[in-house]
Amino acid sequence: MRRLTAVEVHARKIRELGLDPEGLDLMTPEGLAGALRRAASYLCPCSAATLVRAVVRPLRGLVPDLDHARELVEDTLDAMVAHGDLLEQPEVQDGAQSARVLLYAAPVSFVVRHSGLVVLLGVAADQLSPLPSELERRIQYLGHIRRLSPSSASEDLRGELRELGLLELTSDAWLRGPKSRTASQLLAANDRALDAVAPSRDIPGLVLLDPTKPVRYYRGRWIEPRAQTGRFVARREQAYGADLWCYVQLTNGQPERMIDLPQRGSRWRGCDEAWHLQMAIDAHRGGAQRFRVTPSGQAVVIEFFSPAPAWARRRWDAIGEPVPTTGGLFAYRIPKAEIEEERRFVHEALWLEEIAVGSR
Amino acid sequence: MDLAGWNERLSLHFASLRDVRADRETHLPIFALEHGLSDVEVRELSEAVRVHVRHAPPAREHAVAWIVYAAEIGYGYAGDEYWQTFEAKTPGWTRNGERDWIRDAFVAFRKRFEAASPSGPWAGKFSIIAWPITHAILPRDLQQQLARILYDLRHSFSAELFDEPQRLGDFIAAQSWNTSARFRNLVQAPALVGQIAAALLLQGREGFKTLLHPMTLKRIGDDVDRERRGRDWLRGARRAAEERAKIRGLTIGRPTKTTFDRRDEARAEVERLGIEPRLVLRPIEDSRWEVSLEIPDLSHLLLRFPQVRDVLTESRCTVAGAAGRPLARGRCLYGPQRVALSRWPRPEDILLKFERADLQLEFLLRAECMLRPGTTWLFKVASDGLAYESRGMRVRADSKYVLVSTDSYASSPLARGVELTCEGVRAVLLDVPSALTQEWEQALRQFQLTQAKSIEVWPAGLAAVAWDGEGHGEWLASETPTLAICSDHPIDELTIAMGERGPSLSLALTDTPPGEPIFVELPPLPVGLHKFSVAARSGSAAGSAVIGDLDVIMRVREARPWSAGVTTHGPLDVELDPATPSLEQLWEGKAALAVRGPAGRQVRCRVRMFVHGGEAPSFERQLPAVTLPLDSDEWTLHFERHLKQDKDAPQAYDHAQLCEVEFSADELGIFTLRCEREFTPLRWALRRDTSGFIARLHDDAGGGELAVERYSFEQPTIGEHLPRATEHRAPRTGGLYVATMGEFRTSMVVPPIVKDFADLRCEPRIETPARTDKSISWLVSLARLWGDARLSGDLIAGTRQRLVGRALARRIWSLLGGDHWGRKEDEYARGDLGLRELRRAIPQPARQHQGYGGREALLADQLLPHEVLKRLADAPLHERGAAFVDFASKLQLFPESGRLGGTAARSSPLGVVRRPQSSTWVAEFALRMASDPGAVEAWGGNKVEEGVLQLREAPTLARAARFVVLAVDQHRQSHPVAGELYAGWRWPS
């Protein structure tokens, strides 16, 4: 039994997470992701708030600002859910599905890229690793991402991981997005769904994503309804639960029709459908959302100003590494060789416009 | 070398092996497979045995050679049939050999060489083949399973676990409850399994060199390595074993025992295991909170108390206060889960109650699975919105609490009443301010709460597995807990002590301002309960005063073994009942399977059948995807429509030893259900040639008088004795084949050969016996004989089984319901009478005037009116049952004893002591008897006779029950699915 300093606590716990205390502490994205995976291994299924609480509470006295820590934990958790370590699904109780959304631990699984690189996903109960220690030691931690590279051209990582009982997800299944559509087609499909529902009355706690606000400041686009008329991506309050995503029609600020997102049977989260729909709305209005590409040594950094659906973020999780951004919402460093394909994807699937180099 | 030569060489070898092993303190037995012969030598020995037995019976002077020969055949045994293989490989054996001779030879071998002896229930059932299979050590088909289970358990290995084979074997046995039937048989001899496992894991290390003969061990190891998966599992397990064999005192292997001399020892052990259910409150809408019980993973109980395994794995569990169905068998062993409560459990309720009463388990559960005693419970509202039970009745400033009590609260302006979705308690919300006023202090006293002390403790850096915020927490044995300790007053000294003789730490803290936490790393803690006392002092050493103290209770537990596939914390949830259904149960619709997950998501479903495990599948089909959630009835229908009606499936089923059903949904996961053929000493198999079906009896029983009978579909109550042969060519009309040997009985429905429509026609004839209890009992036993029979893959076998079952049920109800009812039911069955007319045959209850306050006589049509029946037809079984109880109570249909639900005992006409059952029991008995009389004995046990007497006393109730069954069958407008005699009446077994 011995007394530890705060620095020593950081180092011990980082080591317990299988990470290197030389370069990381509990507030780094890698440390937070490790702590979240560990808490999820005990607590799932549970709400996102429960997981965040489980990670933030033990940081008391170890970090200067707990509120800031909470924000970082929430951001890391969002990235992990988009990545596929945790799955956001409606709660199932006694066979019936409730409106409450919970986080479930994804089965321990992996995706093999064409290059042979392996992306590890999922959480095992009680934080046990199904990997033998020599493979465990080879895991590369980049933010919330865990990767394994073949040690030689002949190493059959796929076979080895399958034999160990990990579930293989094909790259296509992991990266699968909605079917290819133009922004107008996606908008029209949602409009048809909205036309088909019965009129709704007051919607408590409604906030809207204002398409007229600048697309480069996502948080500033959220407004309360006043006298708006039109159709909006929105969030609405839910008693004792996370806000729900919806698509709503207003006349003079009064809700007339509303559909919840995701639509029934969808494999995407509500936010994935909502963010994609907002991209379509912005593009359709002629004010497409933006992205920026800047060189960074042998790689490039691709930077975004609004959130992107999980199926888009997974692409960049697979080929790049998350890096901090100033002024943007999130960014990835990716190899130069990949950038043209990603530009094409961002234009065609997300309808974003690139900011010319040099402009801020 | 001749057989005598082989015998002599082997005798010398085994004697030497015996002497080496006798040196070990644990006196480990030797096995026949440890013969030390090379492959070539084994072949030569086998040839010598065969040459001898072609012409002469086996001789005592060759017994050791024969034993090695028999064990070698056991090594390749895969659960199909031992003697068939033995006879095929040993020409002349049928003529010159005797099975009993082999057993006697093994018994003599055990005595002479201190060799292994089969043990456990399976050794009793398979009293001869248990010997060669035990002496085969680890037959090939079980090797992969053992490798897998050792891999799963690798994180829990310790030096102590390897010290005693029995302990390691118990540990493996505890984790084997959901493995194949054959593997479960193997672990019935835990000492032997422990010996084998320790040898596989640690052979070559000092102290483990003599566990098994090196050549034998190498052979088994090489065979495991043949499959890459097995090789990786064993390699991973070995690596962990070598690392962890150095560790003492940390894990499950710490000195302990699985039987406890004293009851309080057992209770203390249960407390250490951490299986206490936790109450959690969740806000759901304005001022309403849902109460749920988090049920722990009870698999830890299996490790310490293997004797309660059968109840935990084979019995459903009811949660006190929960309104839903009981949890499926084995459900509590897969990980924690939450169940909503609609009623607050009573103080005397054991929170988890298993259907099969077991006094030992009940005693153990009383230690931990009850509500915390008292009338008031405190829940702290956490930042995630949920309220978690706080064990000390202490509150902290600036925090919210929900206080729950079975008593009424005196009104207080500081406590806002909140509603719970749970009857039997009241609750108030306390929003404790940051500074307590006098009014608050008074209110807290009124609620018998105290303010938390000035000292606070919490897990630092990383979360504990559980932490209640006030000093109770749970960690894994693999972790090193670190605590943060903080005082809101200036302190000069902090003392942390673990028990009287445990480690302690005393810190001078003159430089630590109030509110600043200090961090303390605790030593590694073994599995169990640990108490740390934390005391904060102020002042100099001589005159210091304790200004705050707190006890921290830490429960340290094992991590649950990881295994691939679906888990309780993942999004795909598969519920199976029974937990490990056999191939026959799957095919015959007697296994309940439900898959839950995100509504609307599609799940792919693939079925593969194997003639032998480990080989390529003999049949493979991708069934249409199912949509979540999938309930048990939908699954049965899906399986029947898309698999059983596949033209190749029936034949594949008849030949299959194993069937795998795989559900997969991309990122949600994969679940694979493996169903093996039942492993019974006596069983029928069916094959077809150009002239028809041949029923073959597989006999692995230890001996006894064999009797074989055939019952035809046309006369299903009359058994025709057949010769005592193992193969029987069935007539074109098929029938029920029944074989009995000693205590074992097996039956199978052989379908008729259907060439044209005429072959499909069949009308079972059952004579009406005298209306006596004995006749009813005889018909019920026949219904059971037919109902329990295994079905061949051919779907017509099931149709015929149902046809006979219905005819028997009709006859039983003509005895219970009376001649008039019997005639009307026959007319109804022929289609000459409708439901409306049949309803009129339920006479009006004699007591209706009392029941309806003297209103005008009830018309027959008012009994179970059409619209009520139609609604009931689509209702779940338990709702239908409740509606029937309600209906029968209103009309006072229950017999006097049933209505009163009294406890007085009286004698039946047969002299049996009768204990009247409750109305609910009588109603369920009536409905079960009316819908599936063959299965009623399995449910009612020795109360069946009593139930029959009650129905005979209340014929109107009997007829009403039968009518409800027939009406629901008709209203469902669908044919009964597998496992049902009447549509909609599939009872949980």
Q: What is the pLDDT of residues A15-44, one digit of tens each?
A: 999 999 999 999 999 999 999 999 999 999
Mean pLDDT is lowest, of B177-186, B635-644, B804-813, B952-961, for: B177-186
Q: Which member of B335, B383, B384 has the closest CB to residue A125? A: B335
Position A97 scores a pLDDT of: 62
Q: Is the pLDDT of residue A297 over 90?
A: no
Q: Which residues of A touch B229 (CB under 8 A)?
A: 163
CA distance B809 to chain A (A): 34
Position A139 scores a pLDDT of: 95
The answer to whether B465 contacts chain A (CB < 8 Å) is yes
Position B453 scores a pLDDT of: 65
Q: Is the pLDDT of residue B748 over 90?
A: yes
Percent of chain B scoring above 70 in pLDDT = 91
Q: What is the mean pLDDT of chain B?
A: 84
Distance, CA of B121 to CA of B188 (rounded, Å)? 7
Positions of E strands within B665-731: 670-676, 682-689, 692-699, 706-711, 719-722, 727-729
Task: Note whether A160 contacts B232, CB cutoff 8 Å.
Answer: yes
Q: Which member of A16, A47, A106 has the closest CB to residue B384? A: A47
**Chain B: residue whose CA lies nearest to A106:** B570
Could you tell me if B105 and B67 are in contact, meaning their C-beta atoms sit under 8 angstroms apart? yes
B937 or A200: which carries more pLDDT confidence? Answer: B937
Position B801 scores a pLDDT of: 95
B455 or B463: which carries more pLDDT confidence? Answer: B463
The answer to whether B598 contacts chain A (CB < 8 Å) is yes
pLDDT bucket at B470, cuts 50 / 70 / 90: confident
Q: Is the pLDDT of residue B139 over 70?
A: yes
Position B262 scores a pLDDT of: 61
Here the tokens at position B849 are 């005037």
Interval B320-373: pLDDT, tens: 998 877 888 888 887 778 888 999 998 888 899 888 878 888 888 887 788 888
Distance, CA of B360 to CA of B266 (rounded, Å)? 10
Q: Which member of B282, B482, B596 has the closest CB to residue A4? A: B482
pLDDT bucket at A265, cuts 50 / 70 / 90: confident
Position B540 scores a pLDDT of: 64
Q: What is the DSSP string of A198-264?
A: PP----TT-EEE-TTS-TT-GGGGEE--SS--EEEEEEEEETTEEEEEEEEEEETTEEEEEEEESPT
Angle between helices A48-56 and A66-83 (to 10 degrees): 130
Position B122 scores a pLDDT of: 84
Interval B570-596: pLDDT, tens: 888 888 888 889 999 999 988 989 998
The residue among A99, A128, A83, A44 whose CA lies nearest residue A241 is A99
The answer to whether B511 contacts chain A (CB < 8 Å) is no
The residue among B252, B227, B266, B295 whose CA lies nearest residue B359 is B266
Task: Note whether B600 contacts A133, CB cutoff 8 Å.
Answer: no
**What does the pLDDT average to over B614-632?**
92
Q: Is the pLDDT of residue B98 over 70?
A: yes
Q: Which member of A4, A13, A84 has the closest CB to residue B462? A: A13
The answer to whether B638 contacts chain A (CB < 8 Å) is no
Task: Note whether B571 contacts A84, CB cutoff 8 Å.
Answer: no
Q: Report the range out of B22-31, B179-188, B957-966 with the highest average pLDDT.
A: B957-966
Angle between helices B795-817 and B819-830 (to 10 degrees): 150
Q: Which residues of A touch B156 (CB under 8 A)?
A: none
Q: Which residues of A touch B501 (CB under 8 A)?
A: none
pLDDT bucket at B254, cuts 50 / 70 / 90: very low
Interval B52-92: pLDDT, tens: 999 999 999 999 999 999 999 999 887 777 888 899 999 99
Task: Note whether A108 contacts B562, CB cutoff 8 Å.
Answer: yes
Task: Note whether B523 contacts A1, CB cutoff 8 Å.
Answer: yes
Q: Cβ–Cβ contacts within 10 Å for residue B176, how many? A: 21
Phi-psi region of B867 (alpha: psi -120 to 50; beta: other; left: phi over 0): alpha
Distance of CA B303 to the CA centre of its chain: 15
Q: Is the pLDDT of residue B845 over 50?
A: no
Task: Note whether B667 contacts A121, CB cutoff 8 Å.
Answer: yes
Q: Which member of B486, B498, B562 has the closest CB to residue A130? A: B562
Q: What is the DSSP string of B720-743?
A: EEE-S-SEEEPPTT-EEEEEEETT
CA atoms within 13 A on the CB side of A13: 35
Q: Is the pLDDT of residue B855 over 50?
A: no
Task: Note whether A47 contacts B283, CB cutoff 8 Å.
Answer: no
- Interface A:B, Cβ pairs < 8 A: 213
The answer to whether B875 contacts chain A (CB < 8 Å) is no
Task: Note whether A1 contacts B505, CB cutoff 8 Å.
Answer: yes
First-to-last CA distance in chain B? 57
Task: Note whether A12 contacts B283, CB cutoff 8 Å.
Answer: no
CA distance B633 to chain A (A): 13
Task: Note whether B519 contacts A126, CB cutoff 8 Å.
Answer: no
**What does the pLDDT average to over B290-310?**
82
Q: Is the pLDDT of residue A334 over 90?
A: yes
B534 membership: H or E segment, kind and range: strand B528-538
Position A359 scores a pLDDT of: 54
**What does the pLDDT average to over B756-784?**
88
Q: Which member of A40, A105, A265 has the closest CB to residue B600? A: A265
CA distance A228 to chain B (A): 30
Q: Is the pLDDT of residue B900 over 60?
A: no
Position B260 scores a pLDDT of: 52
Count the residues in chain B: 989
Task: Note whether B232 contacts A163, CB cutoff 8 Å.
Answer: yes
Q: How big, in percent rounded to 5, are the helix, strand and coil portions of chain A?
A: 35, 25, 35
Q: Cβ–Cβ contacts within 10 Å for residue B629, how many? A: 20
Position B907 scores a pLDDT of: 38
